[in-house]
């Protein structure tokens, strides 16, 4: 969530007649120093941005640990609202429902974002908490649902007791129809609520003539530039592909004992051979042009550039 939503939420509580509670029991986690939370505030509504949630100090004390401790750990049965929850959608889970890692030792690498990992850990640390996921763009792919463990679509007592990966495999196997059925099921049990803004009383008007001669001239000039750039890129890509095909043919010919290099292959090698040690003598026009072409079209950077070692 954004820090601005902290003030918006306090305003909404005041609108509900809870003005004094909003002023005295609404807190922003980022405003507290590490270690001060438990000593100063015993109950209330705690707000935190995702950036604050993943933060930690030099002593490796994390805001997530502080928040879980403030809530009371496993006995907490209050409400956790994850606004803009799509920020936690970059997640890959292992068979145990924990964020997946690849590699070992120094090569160990996380496959999930830090935000997604801490959102999962927050829900694991507060197993009795009620959780609400709020987002206008929650997921773009079924695998982005991994952090929504409270939907009740996977885990013990469901059709996918082995966890999220079993659920995801079922969706891949059954296709779009399965996704629609799951959405209908969640809506039927009251676990899914979708809303759109009403277009009632909205008025639309088409306006012509918003540009003038200078705007049209600028647009035409930009179009010409992009057209020329596109044409040159296509030409360059075609040359690179042609070079790659010839390099492949030459490599195969060198490996084969029965096949000799053709004249075209030898010309290709001469055209792209190293020229850093060549003289810059321009007396011979033919040699100069061949050298210029080699330096322009060869497939690697020169050892010297503008007289400087690179």
What tokens appear for 137 in the block?
Answer: 């763009």
Whether 170 has a pLDDT exceeding 50, the answer reads yes
Q: Judging by DSSP bridges, how do beta strands 130-134 and 79-83 pair with one another?
A: parallel
**Greatest C-alpha distance within the chain:** 92
Whether 11 has a pLDDT exceeding 50, the answer reads yes
pLDDT of residue 281: 59
Does residue 158 sit in helix, strand or coil?
Answer: coil
Lowest-pLDDT range of 77-81, 232-236, 257-261:
257-261
- Domains in the chain, ordered, with CATH? 4-102+109-168 (3.40.50), 236-299 (no CATH)
pLDDT tens-digit map of 102-137: 767 666 677 889 999 999 999 999 999 999 999 988
Length of the chain: 310
Lowest-pLDDT range of 30-39, 49-58, 162-171, 284-293:
284-293
Q: Judging by DSSP bridges, how do beta strands 101-102 and 109-110 pair with one another?
A: antiparallel
H or E, element range at 150? none
Buried-state track 102-125, b at ≥16 Cβ within 10 A, e below 16: eeeeeeeeebbbbbbbbbbbbbeb
pLDDT averaged over every residue in the chain: 83
CA distances from 234 to 4, 47, 273 (A): 48, 52, 24
- The neighbouring-strand residues paired with 110 are 101
pLDDT of residue 77: 93
Contacts of 165 (CB under 8 A, 6+ apart): 93, 94, 95
CA pair distance 298, 72, nearest whole angstrom: 66
pLDDT tens-digit map of 48-87: 999 999 998 887 888 999 999 999 889 999 999 999 999 9
Whether 306 has a pLDDT exceeding 50, the answer reads no
Would you give the DSSP letter of residue 202?
-
Contacts of 50 (CB under 8 A, 6+ apart): 1, 84, 87, 88, 115, 119
pLDDT of residue 298: 58
């Amino acid at each position: 969530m954004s820090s601005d939503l902290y003030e918006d939420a306090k305003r909404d509580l005041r609108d509900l007649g809870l003005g004094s509670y909003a002023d005295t029991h609404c807190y922003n986690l980022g405003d507290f120093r590490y270690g001060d939370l438990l000593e100063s505030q015993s109950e209330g509504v705690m707000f935190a941005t995702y950036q604050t949630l993943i933060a930690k100090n030099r002593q490796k004390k994390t805001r997530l640990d502080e928040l879980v401790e403030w809530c009371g750990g496993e006995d907490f049965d209050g409400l956790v609202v994850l606004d803009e929850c799509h920020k936690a959608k970059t997640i890959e889970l292992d068979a145990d429902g924990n964020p997946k890692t690849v590699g070992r030792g120094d090569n160990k690498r996380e496959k999930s974002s830090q935000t997604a990992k801490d959102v999962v850990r927050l829900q694991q640390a507060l197993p009795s908490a009620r959780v609400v996921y709020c987002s206008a763009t929650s997921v773009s792919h079924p695998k982005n649902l991994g952090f929504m463990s409270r939907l009740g679509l996977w885990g013990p007592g469901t059709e996918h007791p082995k966890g999220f990966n079993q659920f995801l495999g079922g969706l891949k196997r059954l296709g779009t129809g399965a996704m629609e059925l799951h959405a209908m099921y969640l809506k039927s049990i009251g676990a899914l609520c979708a809303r759109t803004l009403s277009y009632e009383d909205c008025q639309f008007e088409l306006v012509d003539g918003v540009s003038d001669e200078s705007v049209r001239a600028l647009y035409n000039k930009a179009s010409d530039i992009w057209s020329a750039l596109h044409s040159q890129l296509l030409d360059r890509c075609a040359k690179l592909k042609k070079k790659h095909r010839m390099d492949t043919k030459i490599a195969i010919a060198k490996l084969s004992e029965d096949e000799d290099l053709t004249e075209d292959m030898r010309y290709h090698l001469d055209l792209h051979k190293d020229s850093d040690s060549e003289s810059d003598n321009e007396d011979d026009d033919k040699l100069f042009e061949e050298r210029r072409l080699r330096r322009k079209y060869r497939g690697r950077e020169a050892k010297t550039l503008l007289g400087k070692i690179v």
